[in-house]
Structures are given as structure tokens and as C-alpha cells.
Amino acid sequence: MKVHPVAYISSLMGTTLMGCPDVSFVEHLLIDSRKLVFPQTTLFFAIRTEQGDGHQYIDELYREGVRSFVVSSVPDLASFPDARFLLAENVVASIQKLAAAHRKQFDFPVIGITGSNGKTIVKEWLNHLLQQEKNIVRSPRSFNSQLGVPLSIWQMQETHELGIFEAGISKSGEMERLQKMIRPDIGLLTNIGEAHGEGFDSIKNKLAEKLQLFRDAQLLVYCKDHALVDETVQQLLQEGTLRASLSWGIHPGADMVVSYHAMAGRTIVSVVYKGISHGFSIPYIDPAAIENALHCFAICLHLGLQDQVISRMQDLPPLSMRLEMKQGQHGSTIINDSYNADLSGMFSALDFLGLQHPSRDRVAILSDVSGISGDALPAYEKLASYLRLKNITRLYAVGDQFQALASCFGDPSIKVFYFKDTDSLLHHLQGVNFRDQVVLVKGARSFHFEKVSHLLESKNHQTRLEIDLSSVSQNLSQFKAGLKPDTRIMAMVKAFSYGAGSYEIANLLQFHHVNYIAVAYVDEGVELRKAGIRMPIMVMNTAPASFSSLVEFNLEPEIYSVGFAQQLNAYLQQEGISYFPVHIKLDTGMHRLGLEPTDIGHFIDQLGRTSTFKVKTVFTHLVASENPVHDDFTSIQLQRFEHCCDLLSAHFGYPFIKHAANTAAIRRHPSAEYDMVRIGIGLYGIDPGNSDLKLQESVSLKTTIAQIKDVKKGESVGYGRHSIVNHDTRVATIRIGYADGYPRSLGNGKGTVLVRGKSFRTIGNVCMDMTMIDLTGDSGITIEDEVLVFGKDHSIVDVAKTADTIPYEIMTGISQRVPRIYLGE
């Protein structure tokens, strides 16, 4: 990428340049301090949001080598003698202005995509179809927001021949800013629906806002079968607001008339455009995929490339749009990211790899970089530099380009193995053990790296618990948005993070700068420290035998009784340790662990003058914060808590953090916010308080069908003959039982699961390793079909209610033999 002088960048944004007068250059834009790679040529945008303030990371970034910052308030220049500060009235507007100026430098065609659904799929399929003819620059993943779009536009270079960018909005007024940056020559509206509709008065208002993206476009592609869309587009064409359109649909008046039918799991498509017929098939039968594919073909028709892409339509790849992190053999962790293999995708995947298990060796298995036209040397030099920065110890490089440019990878700290093709790699890996390492598998689709991932994964049974890390992050943001700016957050990762996996969740929380995490026992904290978690950890139940581990691993215990405090005090005095961080637990009504209000005086008398402790926080646990019936008792608890805090504060004479609000109380009892809140099951999209938060269920339990058989009338199913069928019944056996954590109480028709989106009841008792379901009436389901036990479309809340329990018990009861798979954008 071309580098630009900071002074030139400042002039494009209209900012005031302050600080060191030395000439410096910018190549990379950064909005997230955690993703720094090339400090010398990075320009950091210090953005203030409801969740945080980028200005607070300037000092850290300066120490790491960054010298250029866009700010809305200038820090003490004397503290940063070599830095240049670009003072802006609005930092977000500045990066958007810079992107708009950058876009004007290029005249190759740009496709702009917006709509309620399908934007990323259509973008990636267009790239799949056109990358052999065009050198394409496109939005990374789902970079379609007010900040994602400028970062996408900044990737544009003179060597590119086509741009494909997404635009996503959440409220009125946002598209105008995106339009100024993208300025598409060709527009594509995928569809219009209810998704992300909270910020609009109506569907019409939402459609009008999205269509603003295309006001200067030469052509708009859309589906004529959507009546509201067609009516609005025709009106805008008559007014001259839109220049031209290419419509497609079953509608006989469409420019591209289509017809299609399903056959053997595929869709056979016929297209007539300008009197010429075209035919092809796609490997999908669902309406959304068909619509997305036809959008793509319409674009290819307009570009005159229909003949080149017809054969590729039959191979449109399934896109999960997320990487998967799985347990590998011999204690290794496998990161499988087959989303794309362009340079930007490589960097993104290596960023993710760099955040995992910092104490372990890191291995990268990469295919040739895709999307390169012309000289490939600069791209591979950058990749080699990135691999060094991410501390990769071994590289398995597959493809002709890697072999031709092997001279780029001469760093002795990285051991490199070259392979002509994937089969050669697979043969080599048969004799390789990745023991306790983190392995990234990242390849272009033509290399079929799914075979590599499958070879390396631990051979567990097919039941799995999927944790969507992007949804966990979104839920955390939802809670943050409703808090005061200075309120801290403690996240509960006890009980294996409610079954979701302690390290992986703690690592995500550390990435998001959560202030504290809490575990139940010292062993949990020790494992997190060994795995590389550095943030403060509170231990809620410490045995005296674990005191040495507390000290060794810098864990902070909860003091819940005078007797326990005396034991800890004696140990610390014996070891000569002063001001050890502790947390005082107050029992204001739970009557589990904690100092009761009547204990406070005795506690102060016995331990109030010791210098071995440093009280970090004082907290209590609310008994029924989720239940309006007990709101009066919650108020009583808070009064008791405040009274005890006053007594402790008067004695200690220094400030400590106070916290009482759990997940349910955060929204239901704002007065309980104090200095910090504790989020537990809410991170996974479960809201005990039924608040107005837009949480997303982030955990899904899935399995597969092992066998299907027809059971005759009068026969029984399962142990104990509790289910005797009164008609011929089609029964499927699925690979999950009570040993996996599926409640035995859900047998005999009480529980339900989803297969292909349809609900089916259990039949017979739940067995240890298997459960049977009644498929009567559906002949299309087959062996190995996926079964959703609970998840987004089959809420764990409903499953728990049916099982006469709570979601906490369901989640924490999922057996450790069930592999956890982590998904993330």
C-alpha cells in the first residue's frame, strides 16, 4: 500500500497538526489498540464511544512505537515528544473524510451492496465468481458500518480492477455518510425486511434510507418480485433520483426473467436477458440462497462476464463467515478459518491466532494468497513480516506461489515446510503431532483445507457445544451501553464459564478490557493464569490449603467470615506479605457465604488494623433481583449493604469498589450499579430480568442422527417400555444422552429438538449416550442430519422450563466430553 505524509493526511481531513515537526508517513489506519502490527506507519484514531475512550490508549501505543494520532483533545505534548497529533472536532467524521478522499483517487468500477440480509454472502460470491477476471478489493468480512467502511475503502490501490463494498445501517441518517465514501458505480439491493429495523419509522423509511447509497450510481440491480422495492425504484427512476436499473425476477416485466426448480438437492435455473437464454445450476435449494445467487448472476450479466461465470455458479461455496476454534489432538487448539485467503483475510486470522494461548507455540498452515494480480512479491514480503510479528514458530506453506517466493521466508525463527499441493501436505501431516500448540488452518477454497482441519481435530463424537464469540461480545456491549461511563465490569467465569469454556471466554473478556473476572475455586484461577490470562481474578471460595497458590498466581480471594480472614492473615504474616488484595463479601440476605451486618464490628476489631490486607472491593449478592415480587426485599438488601460499606469505609480510610448488581439487577435496579456490576449468564444472551436489552443467545448444543428405523404398532421404544407406539412410527436415534448433559426428564415426549427447522418430540426414556425422537410424518430427514438441541431457534430458556429447571443448570450440566467449538467473525 502507498504511504502518505502525515501532513498530507491532515490536510485531507481538515485537522490541526500539532507536536513533533519531523516528517512521518502513514500506511495503516487503526481504531482498535489491540490490533497494532506496524507501529511506525500507523495512524491511530482515538474514538470516544459509550463503551470507552480511545484517548486512554495513547500512552500504551506510544510506548509500542506509534507516533501519529488523531484526537479530539490533545494530551500533554511534553509527555510525547516524538508524536504528531491531528486535532479533530469529530474523530469518526475525520476517518470517514479521509476514506472519501482516498476513494476519489480511483476510477475502476465499484459495486456497492446494501439490504436487510445477504450482503456479505453476495459480496463473497461475487468475489468467487469474478476473481479470475478481476483483481478485486472488497470489504473484509462484514466491515459495513460507519467505521468498517472507511477501513475497507482504505485498502483500495492502483493495482485493483474492481471494488465490492457492503453498506449496513441501523438508523436514519447513516447512509449519506457511507455513500460519500463508497460512491458505487453499480448498486445492488439484496432485499428489504425487518432485520435491524429498530432505528426506522417504517419499512418504507428504511428502504428509502438504503436507496440513498445509489443516488449517483450508473445502475441499480434489484429483484422485481419485491413489490415495495419495485414500486419505490420505479418512482425514483421517474424522478431522476436513480439513473438506470437492471431488474430480475419471475415477474414477466423484469429485465432478466428467471425460472427455476429443485432437483436432487440443487436448483436448476433458466435466465432470459435481452432475448438470450442462459442456464446453470446452484448447489442450494433454499429461497435466500437462490435470491443471492441470482443477484450475483445479474451483476455478471451487466459486466458481460456471464459466459465465464456460468460454470462457477454450480460451485458457489457455503460461507459460514466465521472461524471455528476446536480442540485438536494431543492438547492442541485448531483454528479453522476457510472464509477467504486474500492478504486481508490472512492478517485477520493471524490476529486471532495471536490472541490465543500466548504461552504456547503458534503454527500456521497457509495456502497461496488469493486475489493477487501482477507482482506477488510485495504481498508475500508483508505476510512474512506479519508472521514474524505474530511469533509464528512453524509455517506449512502450500502452493506454487509460496515455493516461488520462498526467499521471503528466510527468518531463522520460523521453520518453514513447503508443499506443492494439499495432498502432499496431508501425507506429511500423518506423522506430525501438534502437542499443546495453537494451529491456524487458513486456505483458499480451491485447496480444500477442510481435509487438513479434519485430520488435526480431536476425534470426539458428533455432539458439540457451539459458542458464538461475536454474540458474547455483542451482549457485553449491550450491558456496557446502559452503564455510567466509569462503571467497572466483573464477569463471572466460574463453573467453566457456565459450561462455555473458561479460557476462551476469559481471553475474549480480556480482549474487551473487562476489569475483573471471578472464578469459584483457586484451581480455576491457576489454570487461567497458566493459559495467559493477566487480568485481575477474584476467587469466591478459597480453602486454606490453597493460600500458597493465591500468592504464587496473583489471585484475589473473597473474605466471607472472620475465621477465614484470620487464617489468611496468619498465612500472609508468616510469609511477610503486606497489602495483599482481598474482596469482602457481605451477607445481606442470601445466607450462604458472607459477613453478616452484625459481624462487621467484630471483623474490624479482629483484623481492621492489619497491614496484610488491601481491600479492593466490597460486595453482596442479591437474592431475587429478577423478581418484581421481591423488589422490596432487594431494597432492604441494598440498605444493609450501604450501611456496612459506610462502616468499613470509615474504618479503612481509603476508597474501595462497591458492587451488588448481578445480571438481572443491572437493568431492573439502577440504584445497585454503584462502582461495578457483575455479568454472568447474561453474556450468553440469557436475561433473568427480562429487560429491554437486545441480547443474542450465543450457545448452541447440536448433535446428529445415528440411525432411523420404522417401529411397528404395539412395539416399545427405549428402556422400561415406557413408550409403546399406537401406530407405525418412524424413530430416529440421536447422538446425545444424559451423560452429555441432556436431562433425563425430557424423555417420553416431554422434550423437543429441531431437525431441518422442524420440531420433533422425544420418544422413550433418554439413555446415557442416546435419545430417540419421533419422526413420524416426515420422510425427508436422513441419517447424519444435524439436530439442534437448543440454540438461537430453540431457546435454552424454553428447554429449561420444559425440564423444570433453569438455564444455569442446563448450561453447566453439559458434559466435558462434549467438545466446545468457538465461532467468531
Q: Just list the catalytic residues.
A: 494, 719
Contacts of 132 (CB under 8 A, 6+ apart): 308
Helices 522-531 & 502-511, crossing angle to 10 degrees?
A: 60
Query: SS3 letters for 356-377?
Result: CCCCCCEEEEEECCCCCCCCCH
For residues 522 and 543, the answer to whether their CB atoms sit within 8 Å is yes
Q: What angle do CA 243, 249, 250 make, to 5 degrees?
A: 145
Q: In the structure grid, which three cell numbers stand for residue 794, read together? A: 430453540
Q: What angle do CA 283, 123, 470 make, to 5 degrees?
A: 95
**Whose CA is closest to 668, among 697, 637, 627?**
627
Alpha carbon of 5 to those of 22, 43, 319, 748: distances in Å?
10, 11, 39, 71
For residues 476 and 510, the answer to whether their CB atoms sit within 8 Å is no
DSSP state of 216: T
**Whose CA is closest to 13, among 52, 71, 61, 62?**
71
**What is the three-class DSSP state of 312?**
helix
**Whose CA is closest to 167, among 128, 202, 215?**
215
Torsion sign, CA atoms 292, 293, 297, 300: positive
Torsion sign, CA atoms 367, 372, 373, 376: negative
Which residues does residue 762 pair with via DSSP β-bridges, in sequence order? 773
Which residues does residue 68 pair with via DSSP β-bridges, in sequence order? 43, 84
Q: What angle do CA 622, 540, 602 make, to 5 degrees?
A: 75
- How far does the chain reach from its first CA to its final CA, in angstroms? 25
Which residues does residue 266 pair with via DSSP β-bridges, in sequence order? 263
**What is the three-class DSSP state of 566?**
helix
Q: In the structure grid, which three cell numbers stand for residue 673, read together? A: 450499579
For residues 11 and 363, the answer to whether their CB atoms sit within 8 Å is no
